[in-house]
Structure 1
């Protein structure tokens, strides 16, 4: 059985299945051991000897960590000029407890990967803001906070958005949504809140701000959205929004909070759009 000595970190990576291919340089030893010459049509050709298992060790002495691991196949990489041992299941281990520091760093890495995955699942793929799933989870938590009486729902609906898609194309419509989301995200910091894409051209901000501070900031946000043009070769596009605002202190449930804000958006559109209605 072939024996390969590796570093402590590499040994741990193999043990944890983080490394599936072990590379070895094409030294004269490995060429002699792995290359099998054959004479075919009076020409010498080489094939790679296949082995079923190898012993991998780390360190020196009898107590060194070691494992016997299945070798699925042995390949040669012309690009890297290396032999590649494709590793399978671990058949036997000895003195191979994971280093505590290594385990800690691995746990931290796994936790970071999990957090990144969870965050990506909570994001709208087009605009990058949080999605409706995240909004529902956050809202269920917000209504139980000590500052729940400040909780406000602000529905934002892009006006005449179908016309942008119809006249300028869906790519431009997507560009408009990205622009709108970015502007809402910017202002959410001033509103002490978070932005969510509710669906289509509808967005929602859940924020915690006294009512007397809220409306001036929303008016400023509405005007800034309208004043910045979205470029298109035909003509620059002006985007306006209608907003509906409701307050949790006036509601009995989170469903009522959302319903009131949604109804307020319809009132804003009935008033001619590009307006804000508080209920």
Structure 2
């Protein structure tokens, strides 16, 4: 196994995952070990040997701090004339003598990574808004809050969305969904709520706002969505949405709240689309 000795600061930065790429000068040793010559069309060309793991040490002696770390890739930078080791997870570690400050920082980094991982699991990969699983978890919490009588579900469904995919392609359909999500998230913040992608071209807002003010803002959202067009080489595309609104104070369960809002969307479609129906 290859070994690289580094100073204490770099060692701790690797341990804390603050440093993920380690640069190493192209000494004769590393050139000999990592550059593999091949003869192609009577010319000598070099490829870079790839390593699956590498030992990182700090200090001297048998009890020196060390770790074995995953090596995802080895690159050579012609501009800098050095090798770049791209590291992944730490496989083994021993004799680490991190200071208490570094230990505290490591804990903070790990907690932050956990929060970031949880957040990414709760978000729709295309639009960036929260997904249906997050909506269901939030809804369970919202119905137990003191202000639950203000809780409102707003179902938003893009009109004739299949036609966009069929006539302009799924890439354009994705652009339309991203456009919708940005507008919906903007108004969800105004409505004292949160936006979710429920599925396909369906979005949902859970919010807390008095009815009159809510409906006024939703009308603005509906008009805002169709005020701008999505560019396509064939022609620019206009979007409209149908909305269904339901209030938790009129429902016995959280499932009934979602169903009522969804039913109102179907009524809005039957009324010609581009409209808002309140339960």
- Category of TM-score, reference length = shorter chain: 0.7 to 0.9
Higher Cα Rg, which structure:
1
Structure 2 unaligned blocks of 5 or more: 34-54
Find out whether 1:57 has 2:59 as its counterpart. Answer: yes
TM-score (norm 2): 0.74
Q: Deviations over 1:39-73 (max 9, x none)?
A: xxxxxxxxxxxxxx997427xxx9xx7347789xx
Give yes or no for contact 2:226–2:239 (8 Å, CA) kept in 1: yes
User: Residues 240 and 77 from structure 1, CA distance in 2 versus in 1: closer, same or farther, beyond 3 angstroms?
Assistant: closer
Which residue of structure 1 lines up, in the alignment, with residue 48 of structure 2?
none
SS across alignment from 2:236: coil
Which residue of structure 1 lines up, in the alignment, with residue 140 of structure 2?
140
1:37-186 to 2 correspondences below 5 Å? 56-57=58-59, 66-67=64-65, 89=92, 93=95, 96-186=96-186
Which residue of structure 2 lines up, in the alignment, with residue 206 of structure 1?
206
User: Residues 57 and 202 from structure 1, CA distance in 2 versus in 1: closer, same or farther, beyond 3 angstroms?
Assistant: same
User: Residues 227 and 104 from structure 1, CA distance in 2 versus in 1: closer, same or farther, beyond 3 angstroms?
Assistant: same
Which residue of structure 1 lines up, in the alignment, with residue 46 of structure 2?
none
Q: Deviations over 1:228-264 (max 9, x none)?
A: 1222222221111100000111111110110000001
User: Residues 205 and 99 from structure 1, CA distance in 2 versus in 1: closer, same or farther, beyond 3 angstroms?
Assistant: same
Aligned residues: 245
What do you get for the CA RMSD once the two structures are aligned? 3.8
After the TM superposition, which segments of 4 or more aligned residues of structure 1 sit over 4 Å from their partners? 3-6, 13-28, 53-56, 67-71, 76-82, 86-90
Structure 1 unaligned blocks of 5 or more: 35-52
Which residue of structure 2 lines up, in the alignment, with residue 246 of structure 1?
246
Which residue of structure 2 lines up, in the alignment, with residue 228 of structure 1?
228
SS across alignment from 2:230: coil
Which residue of structure 2 lines up, in the alignment, with residue 43 of structure 1?
none
Which is further off, 189-198 or 233-242?
233-242
Find out whether 1:264 has 2:264 as its counterpart. Answer: yes
